[in-house]
Amino acid sequence: MSSSVSLLIDIGNTRLKWAYLSRGRLQNCSAVLHRQIALQTYASDAWGSRQPAQIIVCNVAGENIAKQLSHWSQQHWGITPRFILAAERGYGVVNAYAEPRRLGSDRWVALIAARQIIKQPACIVDCGSALTIDAINSNGEHLGGLIVPGIAMMQRSLGHDTANLSPPHLNQPAHNNRGFQLGRDTDDAINEGIYQAHSALIERTLEELSHTLGSNAVNIITGGDAPAILSRLSYLCRHEPEWILQGLATIATRAEHTP
């Protein structure tokens, strides 16, 4: 085992994703649905046979899973994971938040990836448990962002807070299903409404940011629901399923002062 190998872990609210970084390339990208599952039940199968030199983590799922990961990695390898937190500036990115640590670590890592990999103005759309949109200009300045409930969260809220509606089966549209359509039963009406709400917000934001960021801006879309949303967008977006892991790879291989 090469001492240069890093284990990169992206812990979202629903999925835990990981990859090994070796010789500058991501290897063995995998994922597990981790909600309400103890980390030790899958950690040994996932990582136990390959000890890394370091573990770099982006975690938005809370302290409990962070403690579980730290305990497991220290017990098995004697390694303390490095948990990435947003800062005022770093890796060429200037944080827009007045309280920098309040920016989610996933959004911070995504901005770092944009700055270091694309090196152009960018808009990053992450379609996960929450839908987040962030913009970064050509100087590496984060312009701020938007957060709304994700598709499944919107669906659950209708079932929870509305007396005559129960959460429908979430039918993801075919990837070539573009444009506007109306649902012909309650489930379809809810699903279509949610997808239309998300795609409309994204398109409005991309339209507004196109004037601010300029014609060379790159639109990145990532997250588990990205394929279903992407099929409804008229704007050109670059689908990057492993964007957070790519950002962690950037952190693992570049100095923090990198412009």
187 is a catalytic site residue:
no
Encode pLDDT of 43-56 as tens digits: 999 998 889 999 99
Please give the share of the chain, as a percent, with pLDDT higher than 90.
Answer: 75
CB 70 within 8 A of CB 80: yes
Encode pLDDT of 128-166 as tens digits: 999 999 999 999 999 999 999 999 898 888 766 565 555
C-alpha 108: how far from chain center: 10
Whether the pLDDT of residue 96 is over 90: the answer is yes
Encode pLDDT of 75-91 as tens digits: 999 999 999 999 999 99
The pTM score is 0.91
**How many Å apart are CA 115 and CA 122, to the nearest integer?**
8
* Count of Cβ atoms closer than 10 Å to residue 257 Cβ: 9
Helix H, strand E, coil C: the string for the chain is: CCCCCEEEEEECCCEEEEEEEECCEEEEEEEEECCCCCCHHHHHHHHCCCCCCEEEEEECCCHHHHHHHHHHHHHHHCCCCEECCCCCEECCEECCCCCHHHCCHHHHHHHHHHHHHHCCCEEEEEECCEEEEEEECCCCEEEEEEEEECHHHHHHHHHHHCCCCCCCCCCCCCCCCCCCCCCCCHHHHHHHHHHHHHHHHHHHHHHHHHHHHCCCCEEEEECCCHHHHHCCCCCCCEECCCHHHHHHHHHHHCCCCCC
For residues 8-13, average pLDDT = 96
pLDDT value for 1: 40
pLDDT value for 175: 40
For residues 191-200, average pLDDT = 91
Encode pLDDT of 19-45 as tens digits: 999 999 999 999 999 988 999 999 999
Structure tokens at 164: 């005559």
Please identify which of the residues 10, 106, 134, 225 carries the catalytic annotation. 106
Domains of the chain plus CATH, in order, are 6-83 (3.30.420.40), 89-249 (3.30.420.40)
pLDDT value for 204: 97
- Share the mean pLDDT of the chain: 90
